[in-house]
Chain A
Amino acid sequence: MSEKFGVKVEDIFNTMEERFRPEGAEGVDASFGYDISGRGRWKLTVKDGSMKIEQTDDLGGCAAVIQADADTFVGVNIGKVDGTAAFTSGKLSVDGDVGAFGTTAKLFKRFTPPKKELTVGEYVLDMFGTLEARFQTGAAEGLDITIGYDIGGEEGGQWTARIKDGKCTVTEELVPSPSLTMIMKAKDWVELMLGKVDAVNLLTTGRAKVEGDMNLATKLGELFAKYTAPGEEEEEEQELLVLKKIISVNQKFATGPVMGKYLNGLKEKKILANKCRECGRMQVPPREVCALCRIRCDEFVEVGPKGNVRLLDTAYYASPDPLTGETRETPYGLIYILLDGCSGQEVFAHFLRDDQLDRIEMGWNEKKGTIVRPVWAEERTGKVADIKYFEIDE
Chain B
Amino acid sequence: MAHRKKNRNVGVIGVGQTKHSSHREDVNQAEMIHEAVREALDDAGLKMDDIDCLVHGNMELFEMIHQPDLWHALGTGAYGKNTFRLTTGGTTGATLFCAGDNLVASGMYDVTMVIGFEKLQEGHTTGGITNMADPLWTRSIQTGALTGTCAYDLIQEFGEERANQVAMMYRIIMDQHAGLNPKAHRAFGLEWDQMDHLIKTSARLVGELKIIDMCSQSDGACAVIMATEEKAKELSDNPVWIRDHITVHREESFTMLGYDQATVPPLTHKVAAEALFKRNGISKPADYFDVFEMYDPSSWWGVDWLRAFFLLEGDEHLKLVEEKEIAIGGKIPVNPSGGVIASNPIGATALVRPAEACLQVRGDAGPHQIPTPVNHALASGFGGTMWTVLIMLEKELGW
Q: Which of B156-212 contact A (CB under 8 A)?
A: 156, 186, 188-190, 194, 197-198, 201-207, 211-212
- Contact across chains for A319 and B146 when beta carbons are under 8 A apart: yes
For the complex, is A176 an interface residue (Cβ under 8 Å from B)? Answer: no
- Contact across chains for A349 and B152 when beta carbons are under 8 A apart: no
For the complex, is A187 an interface residue (Cβ under 8 Å from B)? Answer: no
Q: Which of A333-381 contact B (CB under 8 A)?
A: 334, 336, 343-347, 349-351, 362-365
For the complex, is A90 an interface residue (Cβ under 8 Å from B)? Answer: yes
For the complex, is B148 an interface residue (Cβ under 8 Å from A)? Answer: yes
Distance A364 CA – B257 CA, assembled complex (angstroms): 11
A260's closest neighbor in chain B, by CB? B136
- Contact across chains for A253 and B136 when beta carbons are under 8 A apart: yes
Distance A323 CA – B263 CA, assembled complex (angstroms): 33
For the complex, is A275 an interface residue (Cβ under 8 Å from B)? Answer: no
Among A312, A314, A364, A383, contact of B156 (Cβ-Cβ < 8 Å): A364
Report the minimum CB–CB distance from A347 to chain B (whole Å).
7
Distance A291 CA – B254 CA, assembled complex (angstroms): 12
- Contact across chains for A90 and B64 when beta carbons are under 8 A apart: no
For B144, what are the chain A residues with a Cβ–Cβ distance below 8 Å?
Answer: 319
For B203, what are the chain A residues with a Cβ–Cβ distance below 8 Å?
Answer: 87, 93-94, 98, 316
For the complex, is B234 an interface residue (Cβ under 8 Å from A)? Answer: no
Q: Which of A278-315 contact B (CB under 8 A)?
A: 283, 285, 287, 291-292, 310-315
For the complex, is A53 an interface residue (Cβ under 8 Å from B)? Answer: no
Using A253-B135, A259-B137 as known contacts, say yes or no to A345 and B265 having CB atoms under 8 A apart.
yes
Among A310, A323, A350, contact of B257 (Cβ-Cβ < 8 Å): A310
- Contact across chains for A316 and B204 when beta carbons are under 8 A apart: yes
For the complex, is B7 an interface residue (Cβ under 8 Å from A)? Answer: no
Report the minimum CB–CB distance from A41 to chain B (whole Å).
17
The size class of the interface chain B forms with chain A is 35 or more
For B126, what are the chain A residues with a Cβ–Cβ distance below 8 Å?
Answer: 317, 319-320
B265's closest neighbor in chain A, by CB? A345
Distance A283 CA – B255 CA, assembled complex (angstroms): 9
For A145, what are the chain B residues with a Cβ–Cβ distance below 8 Å?
Answer: none
Distance A253 CA – B137 CA, assembled complex (angstroms): 11
B131's closest neighbor in chain A, by CB? A322
For the complex, is B237 an interface residue (Cβ under 8 Å from A)? Answer: no
For the complex, is A385 an interface residue (Cβ under 8 Å from B)? Answer: yes
Report the minimum CB–CB distance from A249 to chain B (whole Å).
9
For the complex, is A85 an interface residue (Cβ under 8 Å from B)? Answer: yes
For B49, what are the chain A residues with a Cβ–Cβ distance below 8 Å?
Answer: none
Report the minimum CB–CB distance from B373 to chain A (whole Å).
34
Among B130, B135, B202, contact of A90 (Cβ-Cβ < 8 Å): B202
- Contact across chains for B198 and A90 when beta carbons are under 8 A apart: yes
Using A316-B203, A316-B204, A347-B254 as known contacts, say yes or no to A310 and B188 having CB atoms under 8 A apart.
no
- Contact across chains for A89 and B212 when beta carbons are under 8 A apart: yes
For B149, what are the chain A residues with a Cβ–Cβ distance below 8 Å?
Answer: 311, 313
New A-B pairs, 12, CB < 8 Å, besides A253-B136, A322-B131, A344-B262: A85-B186, A88-B212, A91-B188, A291-B251, A314-B148, A314-B204, A314-B207, A319-B146, A345-B264, A347-B255, A363-B260, A383-B136
In the complex, the 8 A-B pairs of residues with the closest C-beta atoms, listed nearest first = A89-B188, A291-B251, A344-B263, A345-B255, A319-B143, A310-B259, A317-B205, A93-B201
Of the A-B pairs whose beta carbons lie under 8 Å apart in the complex, a sample of 14, sorted by A's number, is A251-B135, A259-B136, A287-B251, A314-B204, A315-B146, A319-B143, A322-B131, A345-B255, A345-B260, A347-B254, A351-B141, A362-B259, A365-B262, A384-B141
* Chain B residues with a Cβ under 8 A of chain A: 22, 25-26, 64, 124, 126-127, 130-131, 135-141, 143-144, 146-149, 152, 156, 186, 188-190, 194, 197-198, 201-207, 211-212, 250-257, 259-265
